[in-house]
């Protein structure tokens, strides 16, 4: 049986993060879980594409926008299962075992990893704890936690929404009741929090979520998310 998982990563000027993210995926090759890597780029000029190709990835190029990039990456992938992953999220050891167990036992559910930040102190633990609680109670995991989904299930839900922001929340809402926590950790970048402050960044993210759920334009929310303009980072 061929390895089941195609990893799809949207990128935009992700050269600083991508190599470490891909290195964390190597255990999936050794475990027979990882079929291929698809990097869906939105116009990088910093070496992102060279890194992806050096790691043996298939590169898809198109307009920037995380939802559209993910959708193009999914279309280019061939795996029965898709792992949608952010370029700055590194899966901790043991992720492939958790993913394969999920595939065997929960084929009609979407798996997500527990979130942690690559930062020390009470603030990172508090924010990550809220994110994991939100995911369990409200069924709203974010893309930086990784989403493992069977292709047929994704297609039945309408695919990845072509949104510049909150495509992960929109997808989670379409899959409500079919989301399951996997016993492994996704460690994501704390750069935005460390730059803006943990409270300020957390409050902004919560406000964006509430406004999206109330029907606000995702394009306008994307500007707020980046503090007034797209930063070019995924």
Output the domain CATH number for residue 34. 3.90.550.10
Residue 220 falls inside a structural domain: no
Residue 47 falls inside a structural domain: yes
Task: Write down how long the chain is.
Answer: 234
Kindly tell me if the per-residue pLDDT of 232 is higher than 90. no
In terms of Cα–Cα distance, which of 212, 95, 94 is closest to 85? 95
pTM: 0.94
Residue 86 falls inside a structural domain: yes
For residue 226, name the pLDDT band (cuts at 50, 70, 90): confident
Alpha-carbon distances, residue 174 vs 19, 40, 143 (angstroms): 32, 23, 14
Residue 178 falls inside a structural domain: yes
| Assigned token pair, 42 | 């939105």
What mean pLDDT is predicted for residues 82-111? 97
Non-local CB neighbours of 173 within 8 Å, separated by 6+ positions? 139, 140
Neighbours of 180 (CB within 10 A): 16
Kindly tell me if the per-residue pLDDT of 233 is higher than 50. no
Residue 211 falls inside a structural domain: no
Paired residues of 70 in beta bridges: none
The model's pLDDT over 105-147, given as tens digits with 9 standing for 90+, comes to 999 999 999 999 999 999 999 999 999 999 999 999 999 999 9
Residue 201 falls inside a structural domain: no
Residue 20 pLDDT: 98
Residue 223 falls inside a structural domain: no
Residue 126 falls inside a structural domain: yes
Per the structure, the count of domains in the chain is: 1
Residue pair 104/169 in contact (Cβ under 8 Å)? The answer is: no
Q: Residue 36: which domain range?
A: 5-192
């Amino acid at each position: 049986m061929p390895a089941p998982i195609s990893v799809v990563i949207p990128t935009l000027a992700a050269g600083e993060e991508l190599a470490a993210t891909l290195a964390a995926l190597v255990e999936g090759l050794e475990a027979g879980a990882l079929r291929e890597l698809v990097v869906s780029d939105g116009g990088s000029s910093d070496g992102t594409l060279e890194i992806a190709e050096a790691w043996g990835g298939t590169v898809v190029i198109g307009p920037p926008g995380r939802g559209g990039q993910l959708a193009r990456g999914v279309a280019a992938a061939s795996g029965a299962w898709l792992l949608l992953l952010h370029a700055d999220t590194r899966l901790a050891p043991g992720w492939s075992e958790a993913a394969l167990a999920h595939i065997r036992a929960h084929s009609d559910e979407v798996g997500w990893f527990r979130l942690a930040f690559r930062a020390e102190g009470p603030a990172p633990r508090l924010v990550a704890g809220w994110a994991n609680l939100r995911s369990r109670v409200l069924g709203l995991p974010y893309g930086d936690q990784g989403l493992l989904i069977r292709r047929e299930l994704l297609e039945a839900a309408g695919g990845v929404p072509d949104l510049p922001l909150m495509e992960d929340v929109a997808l989670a809402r379409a899959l409500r009741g079919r989301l399951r926590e996997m016993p492994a950790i996704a460690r994501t970048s704390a750069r935005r929090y460390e730059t803006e402050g943990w409270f300020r960044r957390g409050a902004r993210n919560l406000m964006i979520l509430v406004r999206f759920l109330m029907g606000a334009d995702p394009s306008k929310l994307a500007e707020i998310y980046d503090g007034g303009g797209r930063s070019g980072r995924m």
